[in-house]
Structure 1
């Protein structure tokens, strides 16, 4: 009996401990640590904030970090739709913070902006663009800038191009990584490429799955990621020496910038937001709809990027009319060069800024 009572007490204590830890996690507020110098001390004149801004009638989360509050502003637009990049930019964005005020935005329905009570009718492409414009205007006002550097990744590159097209007065330069051009055509190519790879490699299970659903488009948007990302050639490749594996999903959620509640909402928000927004991208094709941009355009393409994205990006950029059109191919990157080779990307962005202000680039010929 004594043993039984002891075991019950131990179980009660352990269970109570779990509850306490869970409550503590739920109660822990999100925070971001100061930007520190090489000596490990906070940098004087830096900025490190997690703020909530009223954008488009809804509170949306923004992380702002930089070693110098007077540095040029870089607005990062994450992919998805539904992705969140606060953790990614904490792990891979520190070098950028030396030269820029880096603003990472959790878009409507994602991360710290994943309000589950938000009505679905607000999840539209037009609203996302309006949100991006409103945020950019706010950043220009707050930091007394004529414009910001817009960096778009994957879906964020779609939004970034539309922002640069609609409001070039707010954009100093546009930079694309994982550049999207035509979501519909990309999906068709990736389906064909994945099916061909599955047949060549003898993956009969994947062949059967692909043949069962047929080529896109699909009524169920959640078929896309499961069917079109099965090719390991686009997932497994060499990266830069400074690549941090935690910068990718889902490990990028495990940072202090999210509370436990926000981490849980982020996982659900990715699925919900993707399902709502992805079908709205089917009608976009920059080859026809964006023949001209009135801002400098710089795009980094990874050697291991899926051809369905990379080939269309090069085709669009070859015909694009813009003040500057720069395309670089990096041999240790795939769909996310800014994460795969973060130090190189920071140097690349420093070059972009140097060109923008008319000074000598920091590095040539990369």
Structure 2
């Protein structure tokens, strides 16, 4: 279906891959604009509704495709999705890429990942650069174990600084080790303290409840799709948690043959700032830039939107043509 909403054209559709329906939301003020494929985080956590409610205006500059990955939200169907692996999602990403190129008559598109989506996106672009104009990593994934070690240390240090003895004792009761990804106690303290202490989705003013509320009140989802969202979150983590925990993005995506842009909040403890910097420093690319967002945690595109959009307009959109025309300036 296609509707028009406040000058933003909107499409909701499904692409079949191996007999399984993959859901897409596509938005733009002009479908002639450059196409950007957005890879959500989680794994299994769709972000269309959250970004829409934040007021992010990147559909003014791009035709933005929010693809819900196999096993997630609109793309959750236990009878057809099969086993979900990193390799399968890489393959799915390429199929969606080619679908968008054909639909909008583009030789290449942009691709942006957030959190888990940056691990997926890094691999896709590193292995298949011919399809992409640039890679944009927001909340860049590095090494998940080391990142979570930073998270645990942050939680403990923050509880101590605040004089919150109950929280400090609670966090200390959890042993952090290599099996952290299957430790229910560790997942519990993340849920209880990470947003509260300002290292989660946003530095301030966000909760797990708010995230689910945003998803369930999005009227572009059917009720069945809304109820599939929590199913997809649990299913995707069960399917990919170990893979994610043991991954090092610099080994899986060491070289890019396109420009790379990394945008990261200094207070991010879902994918730690230190690990994002390490990723940036180790990868090879014809050009690369790292942007520190001083007032953000895990979501600089929500927390510091004007700066985020300025970078997209002045740096990302000109990255492909600037070497041809140094005076290029996207309006």
TMscore range, shorter length:
0.7 to 0.9
In the alignment, which of 180, 183, 207 is matched to residue 218 of structure 1? Answer: 180
Structure-2 residue corresponding to 1:355: 319
User: Deviation at 1:224?
Assistant: 4.6
Secondary structure (helix, strand or coil) at the match of 1:158 reads helix
Does residue 237 of structure 1 match 2:237? Answer: no
Does residue 314 of structure 1 match 2:277? Answer: yes
User: Deviation at 1:333?
Assistant: 1.9
Structure-2 residue corresponding to 1:101: 63
Distance, in Å, in 2 between the alignment partners of 1:293 and 1:246 is 38
- Structure 1 residue ranges, 4+ long, deviating more than 6 angstroms after superposition: none
In the alignment, which of 79, 89, 108 is matched to residue 41 of structure 2? Answer: 79
CA-to-aligned-CA distance 1:85-123 (integer Å, 9 cap, x gap) = 22123334652111111100111111111213346x511
Does residue 197 of structure 1 match 2:158? Answer: yes
Does residue 292 of structure 1 match 2:255? Answer: yes
Change (3 A) 1:260 1:152: same
User: Deviation at 1:276?
Assistant: 2.0
Secondary structure (helix, strand or coil) at the match of 2:226 reads helix
Secondary structure (helix, strand or coil) at the match of 2:272 reads helix
Structure-2 residue corresponding to 1:278: 241
Distance, in Å, in 1 between the alignment partners of 2:5 and 2:217 is 19
Secondary structure (helix, strand or coil) at the match of 1:130 reads helix
Greater displacement, 109-118 / 87-96: 87-96
Distance, in Å, in 2 between the alignment partners of 1:152 and 1:203 is 35
CA contact (8 A) 1:158 1:179 kept: yes
Does residue 65 of structure 1 match 2:27? Answer: yes
More helix by share: 1
Greater displacement, 154-163 / 108-117: 108-117
Change (3 A) 1:303 1:193: closer
Alignment of 1:19-34 (within 5 A): 33-34=3-4
Tell me how large the CA RMSD over aligned residues is.
2.7
Secondary structure (helix, strand or coil) at the match of 2:149 reads helix
Distance, in Å, in 1 between the alignment partners of 2:56 and 2:268 is 24
Distance, in Å, in 2 between the alignment partners of 1:106 and 1:259 is 14
User: Deviation at 1:307?
Assistant: 8.7
Structure-1 residue corresponding to 2:16: 54
Structure-2 residue corresponding to 1:36: 6
Secondary structure (helix, strand or coil) at the match of 2:320 reads helix
Change (3 A) 1:332 1:208: closer
Structure-2 residue corresponding to 1:337: 300
Rg bigger for which structure?
1
Structure-2 residue corresponding to 1:113: 75
Change (3 A) 1:94 1:203: closer
Question: Where do 5+ consecutive residues of structure 2 fail to align?
Answer: none
Distance, in Å, in 1 between the alignment partners of 2:226 and 2:10 is 20
Greater displacement, 53-62 / 192-201: 192-201
Distance, in Å, in 1 between the alignment partners of 2:219 and 2:180 is 37
User: Deviation at 1:233?
Assistant: 3.0
Secondary structure (helix, strand or coil) at the match of 1:233 reads coil
CA contact (8 A) 1:35 1:66 kept: no
Normalising by structure 1, we get a TM-score of 0.79
Structure-2 residue corresponding to 1:21: none
CA contact (8 A) 2:148 2:269 kept: no
